[in-house]
Amino acid sequence: MRPDQDYFEETRLGKAYDLKLLRRLRPFTRPHRRLIVWSVGLVVLITLLDLALPYVTKLAIDRYIVPPAASAPDSRPGPPPAERYLSIDLADPAAAAVVGKYAGVARIDGNTARIAFTDLPRLTPADLAELRRDDLAGLTGLAAIFLVLVILDFLLNFSQAMVMEYAGQRMMHDLRMQLYGHIQDLALEFFIRNPVGRLVTRVTSDIQNMYELFTSFVSFIFKDLVLLAGIAAVMLALNWKLALVTFAVLPLVAAASIGFSKHARDIFRILRVQVAEINTRFSETIGGMRAIQLFRQEANNSRRFAALNHENYLAGMRQIRVLAVFLPLIEVLAVVSVALIVWYGGGRVLDETLSLGALVAFVSYIRMFYRPLRDLAEKYNILQNAMASAERIFLVLDTTTVLPQPSLPPGGRFPQLDRLEEIRFDNVDFRYVTGEPVLKQVSFNLRRGETVAVVGATGAGKTSLISLIPRLYDPTAGRILLNGRDLREYPSAVFRDKMALVMQESFLFSGTIRENVFDGAGGPAPARAEEIIAAANLNGLVGRLPHGLDTLLGESGSLISSGERQLIAIARAFARNPQLILFDEATSYIDSQTELLIQQALERLMRQRTALVVAHRLSTVRNAQRILVMNRGRVIESGSHAELMARQGFYYRLHQAQPGAGPAQ
Ligand code: UTP
Ligand code: MG
């Protein structure tokens, strides 16, 4: 890879947290603002519900199971304050009857009887149940409320997830469409520099990461932070001293989290880079499978891949080591918090300054408190990935290697182009990469109706020259004039519509022949379609195929020979009915019969049209009015076949060297 090809070298993208990136996401969230607001509202409700559940437990314990010891109901010296009593209202005859049976146990005080909790085991179960009937009823009521809250929690969680995922999916959809559209508009130069695998990652997993960022970010900010704050508030309200004792562990938790993020950051980044590299390598392998198998590069390739894979494994292990310290550490701290609650809170229960219910609720709350912290590692990973993905997506979206299109001239109209009268190269220089000129000072012109051929050794720059005419690339110096105006003054659609390029290695899309020839749209009327197929000499091929025109081609037309592929490309050119034909003859060997078919089809195609033909077979050249002879990026001779032969120069020698060239005609 050349040093200037690593446009998106992942390793360079280090600063994963850039809030600016989040701000750039705003245009994508804006259309779904309502859904997001809904989602956030639901999250707040869910959090309140989550906070309510331990509180209901506390109520159940404190009110009905083990009520806190009431301080002495009156100032009379009586029962010591630290004892718990079951109070019984003697107005209820059933209760009074039970109390009557246990005269030695109950203390009667006016209309209320009290039995110490320590004496309760002396009652028969049936009597006990009778005395605690109200408590049981209250407990049942609270259990029912608990159940309702849990069901509500489920329903809210379900709705929240649906709303959020819906918004996330929509955003991902929009972002992917925009990215796809943008990539399609980029100049070819961009694709020379960026490997396919990397771009594929952009459109697939990077977008997926953004989606996860969106969903987990909302849940992190709104669910976890609100939950943490809520728990802290409730705990402080329940018993601020116990809350503060419990929070004593938090600095350790913070230290652990910071230590984790410091270590994890590098490792997560390395892993990310390696995954991208594996993707790139893999897609290149698939693309070049033919060459790999042909040149028996499998072992070599596997060795290189194994090295990459091993590095990935090592980084994976480092990540696991960090996680393996962090996760249990958080677990230990959670248990320490519980122990603190049991130790300090338990003591307060003993000296009656804390209810048992509150203690139980504290334990539940602290468990809830650590849950988001335990997920922190995962969230951290998502956030890091997503930030890096966002950065790379925006890097592509910000890439402006589009061919600059002209701005509207002052008159308000682009130059018109009804007929291509003349194309003129005016001292054109061109290179793909700095320092390696491909075309040097090329000047020639091509008038309407003319056929000009370009010949030259391999690598002379013929394909490059022909690619400049539809403005696949821009010259690095000099101008290309179309009807006397610089090509760059026209919007590229204007002239591309009027030309058809038959490429050296024609690219066929996976799809049917019909779709390839007629651009996917329904195509012309059947009679016209047949005419085009016949003119392009495709009848033979179409007749041989099982489904005729509707036969599916393998990906990039791999089931079609290169001769047939060129016939299909000619038919495609016919279908567009262009004014200018740019034909780059295939270099691969084509049998003489197919060659003849191509020759005929090409002649038909060029009739009445302007044509620039890159020819490898001199038989193609003879009909041209003019021949440009190229060598190392320069046009070194030009003239008709007869003139060039008479000159006995480069063309003459080229001609002599060609097998079966025969005597000059
Ligand atoms: P061409 O592809 O224009 O040569 O490459 P050609 O005359 O058509 O060759 P044949 O007959 O089809 O084989 C001209 C030079 O440009 C470089 C090539 O390495 C060659 O030296 N080149 C071509 C690039 O650097 N990048 C490209 O994408 C294409
Ligand atoms: Mg070529």
Q: Is the pLDDT of residue 207 over 80?
A: yes
Q: What is the pLDDT of residue 4?
A: 35
Q: Decide: 462 in ligand 1 pocket, CB within 6 A.
A: yes
Nearest-atom index, ligand 1, CA of 436: 25
Q: Decide: 467 in ligand 1 pocket, CB within 6 A.
A: no
Residue % of the chain over a pLDDT of 70: 91
Average pLDDT over residues 400-415: 75
452 with 626: CB under 8 angstroms?
A: yes
Q: What is the pLDDT of residue 394?
A: 83
Q: What is the pLDDT of residue 627?
A: 92
Place of tokens 């403005």: 471
327 with 333: CB under 8 angstroms?
A: no
**Distance of CA 562 from the midpoint of ligand 1 (Å):** 19
Q: Decide: 438 in ligand 1 pocket, CB within 6 A.
A: yes
Least confident of 10-14, 38-42, 188-192, 527-531: 10-14
Closest C-alpha among 278, 276, 274, 264 to residue 318? 264
Q: Decide: 459 in ligand 1 pocket, CB within 6 A.
A: yes
Strands 422-431 and 477-482: antiparallel
Q: Decide: 123 in ligand 1 pocket, CB within 6 A.
A: no
Separation of alpha carbons 296 and 326, rounded Å: 47
Q: What is the pLDDT of residue 558?
A: 53
Return the higher-pLDDT residue of 354 and 290: 354
Contacts of 260 (CB under 8 A, 6+ apart): 322, 325, 326, 376, 377, 380
Q: Decide: 270 in ligand 1 pocket, CB within 6 A.
A: no
**Distance of CA 247 from the midpoint of ligand 1 (Å):** 70
Q: Is the pLDDT of residue 77 over 70?
A: no
**Distance of CA 390 from the midpoint of ligand 2 (Å):** 39
Kindly identify the ligand whose nearest atom is closest to the C-alpha of 192. Answer: 1
Nearest-atom index, ligand 1, CA of 461: 3
Residue % of the chain over a pLDDT of 90: 22
Kindly identify the ligand whose nearest atom is closest to the C-alpha of 467. Answer: 1
Kindly identify the ligand whose nearest atom is closest to the C-alpha of 472. Answer: 1
Q: What is the pLDDT of residue 665?
A: 41
What does each C-alpha distance from 601 to 455, 548, 582, 583 come to in angstroms?
20, 19, 14, 12
**Distance of CA 188 from the midpoint of ligand 1 (Å):** 15
pLDDT digits (tens, 9 = 90+) for 170-199: 888 888 888 888 888 877 777 766 767 677
Kindly identify the ligand whose nearest atom is closest to the C-alpha of 458. Answer: 1
Kindly identify the ligand whose nearest atom is closest to the C-alpha of 473. Answer: 1
Q: Decide: 192 in ligand 1 pocket, CB within 6 A.
A: yes
Separation of alpha carbons 665 and 663, rounded Å: 6
Kindly identify the ligand whose nearest atom is closest to the C-alpha of 587. Answer: 1
**Distance of CA 427 from the midpoint of ligand 1 (Å):** 19
Residue identifier of the C-alpha nearest atom 27 of ligand 1: 432
Average pLDDT of the chain is 82
Place of tokens 């179309």: 482
Q: What is the pLDDT of residue 2?
A: 35
Q: What is the pLDDT of residue 82?
A: 53
**Distance of CA 402 from the midpoint of ligand 1 (Å):** 22
Return the higher-pLDDT residue of 231 and 102: 231
**Distance of CA 73 from the midpoint of ligand 2 (Å):** 104
Least confident of 273-282, 477-486, 620-629: 273-282
For a pocket test of ligand 1, which of 5, 192, 462, 654 has the largest count of ligand atoms closer than 8 A to its C-beta? 462
Contacts of 555 (CB under 8 A, 6+ apart): 510
**Distance of CA 503 from the midpoint of ligand 1 (Å):** 13
Q: Decide: 201 in ligand 1 pocket, CB within 6 A.
A: no
Q: Using 50, 70 and 90 to split pLDDT, how confident is the model at 234?
A: very high
pLDDT digits (tens, 9 = 90+) for 428-457: 999 988 888 999 999 999 998 899 999 988
Residue identifier of the C-alpha nearest atom 20 of ligand 1: 459
- Tokens found for residue 10: 């992942």
Average pLDDT over residues 290-300: 81
Q: Decide: 628 in ligand 1 pocket, CB within 6 A.
A: no
**Distance of CA 551 from the midpoint of ligand 2 (Å):** 29
Q: Using 50, 70 and 90 to split pLDDT, how confident is the model at 343?
A: very high
Query: Model's pTM, two decimal places?
Result: 0.64
Separation of alpha carbons 344 and 244, rounded Å: 11
**Distance of CA 145 from the midpoint of ligand 1 (Å):** 78
Q: Is the pLDDT of residue 532 over 80?
A: yes
Residue identifier of the C-alpha nearest atom 14 of ligand 1: 461
Q: Is the pLDDT of residue 71 over 60?
A: no
Q: Decide: 587 in ligand 1 pocket, CB within 6 A.
A: yes
664 with 644: CB under 8 angstroms?
A: no
Return the higher-pLDDT residue of 1 and 152: 152
Q: Which residues pair with 629 in a beta bridge?
A: 455, 637
Q: Which helix (H) or strand (E) holds 241?
A: helix 240-247
